[in-house]
Amino acid sequence: MMTWRISIRLSTTTRRSSFGLRGKLLRIMPRLFLFQGFAIFFWTGENGEPIHVHVAKGRPSPNATKIWLTRNGGCVLASNGSRLTKRELADVMDFIMVNYGYICRRWREYFHGDISFYK
C-alpha cells in the first residue's frame, strides 16, 4: 500500500514532496513551479544525468513527463509519461524556456555541482 506524505515548505517558491511505501522514504522531489496545475520538479538521485525537469499533473510520479534543457536555452521532450497534450506540452516548454536561468541555478544548488546539458 502506497502512502503519500504532505509537501513540506522549503521557501516561498519551492516545495519538497516525498512519498513512502509502508513508512519508508523513497524519494524527495524539489518542486520548482506549479504551472497551470502541473508540478515542475527535479527527481532526486539523477544528479549524474544532464539537466532536466519532470512535469506531472498534480502529484509527482516516477513516470512523469521528462524535459531536457539544452545549452542554448531551449528544451527537448525526452518522454511524455504524463501524457500531456500538444498544447499543454507547448505551454509547459515555453514556461521552462522563460525560466531557464532559474532552473539552472536551482539544479546547481540542489545537485551541488556543474551542469551538463543535453546535446
In the chain, where the domains are located: 29-111
Q: Could you read off the pLDDT of 2-50 as tens digits, one per residue?
A: 333 333 233 334 444 444 444 444 455 688 999 999 999 988 776 578 9
Q: What pTM, to 2 d.p., does this model score?
A: 0.75
**Residue keyed to cell 511524455:** 80
Nearest to 47 by CA among 102, 103, 113: 113
Nearest to 36 by CA among 55, 19, 52: 55
Spell out where 45-119 has E strands. Answer: 52-57, 65-69, 75-79
pLDDT at 47: 58
Q: Could you read off the pLDDT of 69-109 as tens digits, one per residue?
A: 999 999 999 999 999 999 999 999 999 999 999 999 999 98
pLDDT at 21: 42
Compare 27 and 64 and report the one with higher pLDDT: 64
Written as one letter, the residue type at 101 is: G
